[in-house]
Copies of this chain bind each other. A is one copy, B any other.
Amino acid sequence: METTTVMSGLCTDLYEIRMAASYLRRGMTAPATFSLFVRKLPRDRGFLVAAGLADCLDFLQEFHFDTDELSYLSDVVGLDADDLAALGELRFTGEVRAVPEGRVVFAGEPLLEVTAPIAQAQLVETALLNFVTFQTSVATKAARCRIAAPHADLIDFAARRTHGLEAARAVARASAIAGFAGTSYVAAAREFGLPASGTMAHSYIEAFPDERAAFTAFAEDFPGITVFLVDTYDTLEGVRRAIEVAAGRSEELVGIRLDSGDLAELARRSRRLLDEAGFADAKIMASGGLDEHQLADLSDAPIDAFGIGTRMGVSADAPSLDSAYKLVEYDHRPVMKLSPGKLTAPGSKQVHRGAPGEPELLSLRDDIAPSGREPLLEIVMRDGVRLHDPENVEVARRRFEGDLRWLPDMARQLTDPSPVEVTWSPKLQRLTGELRHALATRMGLKDTSE
């Protein structure tokens, strides 16, 4: 089942196309560097988990305008034949440096830098910002769930309420990077090789004359995997019924799922019933409107696995990030803007990571690299070609797990965290100060720098 896809050369904002057409008319083909970063962390975020790069690289590699897209730009946007010829030939031929997926990052640190002829780098802004902002939001929310419930299996249950099915796919992947053990969303499980998870809903129970009939039917149809959903009518009665059905079939009871009510209390009472019936190995799973705060509250409850849905999948308390894709260099000249509250730092950059507890160091790309520190941005695309095959989710997940061990407790806190400090190299500070002064002078403005 395939339908027309949403990804096309027109997956961009109109102003990108107008600007690109203007650059091309004027022969402005000098390289531009754009830096993608998050200006400020949302409330209660002490870190971010980088995600979205894989989709960015797919997009860049495929980027072009089809004939019918060009004809739309001619008819409706009013581009002329020369513009269309130039756009028709345009491919992404630039370089991408990026922080690999799964790494922990902080505000002000570039997640990705694009260096390409300015029209190319401009046209892809919308898609790159979109993929990185959204997937980093969700990976971060999922990481917070992981921190709140370090010993339980977390399963992505979000597909039914993400922002579209493409989002459901991205959420399954981003949460897997951040340590989730599986997903209910089959298309993503298949595409990314993730464990798929799920047995029955309330509707299944209701379609049978009673709960016992439903449990029995399911256990017959799927022996050895059944997790019984026990709260359709009365939760503890449901647990008793699951026990009777499993015992009647002389089978192990794999598990039960609680989806409503006081989960901690119901889990304790269910655990007792299961243990008394000799089903000490039966797992208890809980679901229903959970997020990292509720997971933390449930940390003492005997719950082995959680289904985490909507709040993770839309990153409910911070469904977006204050991200930006800013021109930092054009034709080998560093640039910045002075808009109130939106001042940017000029030049292509590198982030140098130290030992746990050390502040991050943000430098210009061509600064001398400090010893004993790890640079976070790596070249991932050159001349429009990926340098590596798309990586397995497992690789990004291991990166996340390494960084999570590195991350100081203060930054991991679910409420009022303190992110790791990001310091600027002397050279970056100097360039920013000089450029701000030069711009303000040229514009006849007061230089408001400190």
Contact = CB atoms under 8 A, between A and B. Distances in A.
A133 B134 CA distance: 18
A320 B327 contact: no
Given A1-B7, A21-B221, A341-B260, A13 B200 contact: no
Interface stretch (A96-104, A154-162, A403-411, A412-420): A154-162
A197 B14 contact: yes
Contact of A159 (B13, B225, B327, B335): B13
B439 A326 contact: no
A122 interface: yes
A93 interface: no
Contact of A164 (B9, B26, B159, B166): B166
Contact of A6 (B10, B65, B157, B187): B187
Nearest to A12: B186
A8 B13 contact: no
Given A168-B130, A218-B22, A234-B445, A1 B9 contact: yes
Contacts of A198: 13-18
Number of copies of this chain that the complex holds: 2
Interface string A66-102: 1001001000111000000000000000000000000
A339 B202 contact: yes
Interface string A420-450: 0000000000000000000100111100000
Sort chain A's interface into a size bin: 35 or more
Nearest to A61: B3
A202 B164 contact: no
Nearest to A17: B186
Tell which of A72, A118, A130, A189 has the most Cβ of chain B within 10 Å.
A130
Contacts of A445: 233-234, 237
B58 A3 contact: yes
Contacts of A338: 232-234
A405 B11 CA distance: 35
A278 B143 CA distance: 56
Contacts of A222: 18, 22
A233 B447 CA distance: 11
A165 B127 contact: yes
